Structure 1
Amino acid sequence: MLTENVHIAVPTAFYEDESLNVQGTISHIRGLYKQGVKSVLVSGTTGEQHSLNLQEKIEIINGLELEEELINNMEIIFGVASIRQKEAEELAEKIRPTRISGIMLGYPPYVIPTQEEAFVYTKKIIDLSNKPTILYNNPKRTGFDLSEKSIIQLSKIDLVIGIKDAGNKEKVERIKKGLHRNDFYFYAGGEVDLEEKVSYGYNRLSSIAGNVAPTEFRQWFQKILNKQKVNKQEYEIIENIMKQVFQANTIVSLKKIINDKSIPIGICRKPIGNILD
């Protein structure tokens, strides 16, 4: 199972012509590993997942499988989602025999399946991947909101270990009341409003700002969980980095900071980043 309570949602590297840069992506992960990061989410968030086609996702998986030190010593979670279930199934089948630690299962954008259709989609992909699974509910990006009933029903599957961005306080409270297990985790997607989310039940973090300062944000999150006081100096550091990361378009800001550290994370695929022209 997935034991780390923080993973870093890493951006995908692209060359100037917008083609995939697998080694650039891995270079960034390697840099995080050297800073003590134990878990990363690849191709699962930061708004880039659906710009990658199936073959590109497979190329990233193949590249990760060659990185013995990383694949053997980190929890590497891979994002699985597609507007077509058939492609998500192919990706799940590809992941099954690998040393990928788990998957984050997202829902198709735009098409808005029914709750019943989404349940079948979820069950099929979990069966094919046979990996610990974090459900990813992101109605802002997809238009689909996984219901409380669906989340509770899916939580009965042993491989489903939690959900990212379950919803607001009231929804989380109702889900928790309906659960029949204690080992089901609620992942906050990024650091915005993190203290508030922890106050009503979120207990794990899918970190964005951790790409820039992994140690500082892991320690900050741990203090929030433990209800420990964050001193003024620590908070000023956190606040300053968050201002840099979450200004304007987050992924554009994040890539600029990473590139400035001489890590070849590259550009975003247009229309993201158009304003830079």
Structure 2
Amino acid sequence: MFKGSIVALITPMKVNGDICYKSLKKLVRYHIKNNTNAIVSVGTTGESATLTQKEHYNVIIKTVKYAKKKIPIIAGTGSNSTNESIELTKKLETSGISACLNVVPYYNKPTQEGMFKHFEKISKNTKLPQILYNIPQRTGSDLLPETTIKLSKIDNIIGIKEASGNLSRVNNIKSFVKKNFLLISGDDTTALDFIQLGGNALISVTANIMPNKIFKMCKFAINKNFKKARKINDKIHELNKLLFIETNPIPIKWAAKKIGLIDNNIVRLPLTTLSKKNKKILKKVLKKYYKK
């Protein structure tokens, strides 16, 4: 269902910090026009950690509305509270989303058994497809391949976004799961290698500002035209790295504003806007791709 380029969409905000739905609509249309294969709404890049529950739900609903069924929407529904994640997932049952992206519980650092039971309970309480999300550098816990393999046997757990940066995970998981279980990279810098090793897709930060290039790179890689994919990847490699010069989504929001995709580069506290030093660095690189 989900192959190729999936954008981890930013959540645009007004100067006063409110959600800017005008810019959100513009972004959704931008990705439809540029062939992005799917949108993740309110994931890490969408600042899920600082949106209220009401905002979180509303942004997903509006994203589905703006998409008009022209592009699949994957909703970020993860939480460090199992019951909270179930509650949001149930609210979205009839929303029109195509799947949920469910992050490993953060802060409370569950064991492998705790993680298994967390995802198992969520999956039992919904018919919506579930995509696991492993990002240990943010959550403090690492969903190990053996736990992922165990979870893959649950019918509506359809894949994993692996953002550990450990490329050996692709083979470690792929060898023991059902054929249609999705392996999705969560790291722009290693995504091409991830797909070449047997991955299916990339949930991309860079795609926010370079959707067509990420779409083409992923398409070439999935079709095993690695020479053409590598050529695109080499051109954007420096940008991929610089978009993490400060905590995501600080740089990508600044870049999106710089090229005119959103009206403001506002991020919510405790995040702050890009430093003057890093603005200069990122601006210099952006000039290689954009006139503005």
Into which bin does the TM-score normalised by the smaller protein fall?
0.7 to 0.9
Task: Give the match for residue 15 of structure 2.
Answer: 16
When residues 24 and 142 of structure 1 are mapped into structure 2, their CA distance, relative to the original with a 3 A threshold, is: same
Task: Give the match for residue 183 of structure 2.
Answer: 186
Identity %: 27
- The Cα shift of 1:128 comes to 2.9
Cα distance in 2 for partners of 1:124, 1:234 equals: 41
Task: Give the match for residue 197 of structure 1.
Answer: 194
Cα distance in 2 for partners of 1:231, 1:176 equals: 22
Task: Give the match for residue 6 of structure 2.
Answer: 7
Q: Which amino acid is the alignment partner of residue 152 of structure 1? A: I
When residues 22 and 107 of structure 1 are mapped into structure 2, their CA distance, relative to the original with a 3 A threshold, is: farther
Unaligned runs of 5+ in 1: none
- The Cα shift of 1:245 comes to 2.8
RMSD across aligned positions (CA) = 2.5
Cα distance in 2 for partners of 1:119, 1:231 equals: 36
- The Cα shift of 1:241 comes to 3.8
Cα distance in 2 for partners of 1:214, 1:30 equals: 12
SS at match of 1:78: strand
When residues 173 and 34 of structure 1 are mapped into structure 2, their CA distance, relative to the original with a 3 A threshold, is: closer
Q: Is the 8 A contact 1:252 1:272 kept in 2?
A: yes
Task: Give the match for residue 96 of structure 1.
Answer: 93
Task: Give the match for residue 269 of structure 2.
Answer: 270
- The Cα shift of 1:140 comes to 0.6
Q: Is the 8 A contact 1:187 1:206 kept in 2?
A: yes
Cα distance in 2 for partners of 1:158, 1:231 equals: 33
In the alignment, structure 1 residue 153 sits paired with structure 2 residue 150: yes
Matches for 1:92-241 after TM superposition, within 5 Å: 92-165=89-162, 167=164, 168-179=166-177, 181-225=178-222, 226-230=224-228, 234=232, 237-239=235-237, 241=239
Cα distance in 1 for partners of 2:3, 2:172 equals: 25
Cα distance in 1 for partners of 2:187, 2:70 equals: 24
In the alignment, structure 1 residue 254 sits paired with structure 2 residue 252: yes
When residues 163 and 265 of structure 1 are mapped into structure 2, their CA distance, relative to the original with a 3 A threshold, is: farther
Single out whichever of 252-261 and 167-176 deviates more from structure 2.
Answer: 167-176
When residues 224 and 34 of structure 1 are mapped into structure 2, their CA distance, relative to the original with a 3 A threshold, is: closer
Q: Which amino acid is the alignment partner of residue 162 of structure 1? A: G
Q: Is the 8 A contact 2:74 2:101 kept in 1?
A: yes
SS at match of 1:120: helix
Single out whichever of 75-84 and 215-224 deviates more from structure 2.
Answer: 215-224
* Superposition TM-score, scaled by structure 2 size: 0.83
When residues 35 and 198 of structure 1 are mapped into structure 2, their CA distance, relative to the original with a 3 A threshold, is: closer
Cα deviation 1:189-240 (Å, max 9, x = unaligned): 1311223323433231111111111111111122233143138974564235
Single out whichever of 100-109 and 112-121 deviates more from structure 2.
Answer: 112-121
When residues 115 and 230 of structure 1 are mapped into structure 2, their CA distance, relative to the original with a 3 A threshold, is: same
Q: Which amino acid is the alignment partner of residue 172 of structure 1? A: V
Q: Is the 8 A contact 1:164 1:186 kept in 2?
A: yes
- The Cα shift of 1:274 comes to 5.2
* Superposition TM-score, scaled by structure 1 size: 0.87
Q: Is the 8 A contact 1:95 1:129 kept in 2?
A: no
Q: Is the 8 A contact 1:25 1:265 kept in 2?
A: no
Q: Is the 8 A contact 1:163 1:186 kept in 2?
A: yes
Unaligned runs of 5+ in 2: 277-292
Single out whichever of 208-217 and 188-197 deviates more from structure 2.
Answer: 188-197
Cα deviation 1:155-206 (Å, max 9, x = unaligned): 1122212111164233332222322x11112111131122332343323111
Cα distance in 2 for partners of 1:231, 1:128 equals: 40
Matches for 1:45-84 after TM superposition, within 5 Å: 45-46=44-45, 48-67=47-66, 70-84=67-81
SS at match of 2:94: coil
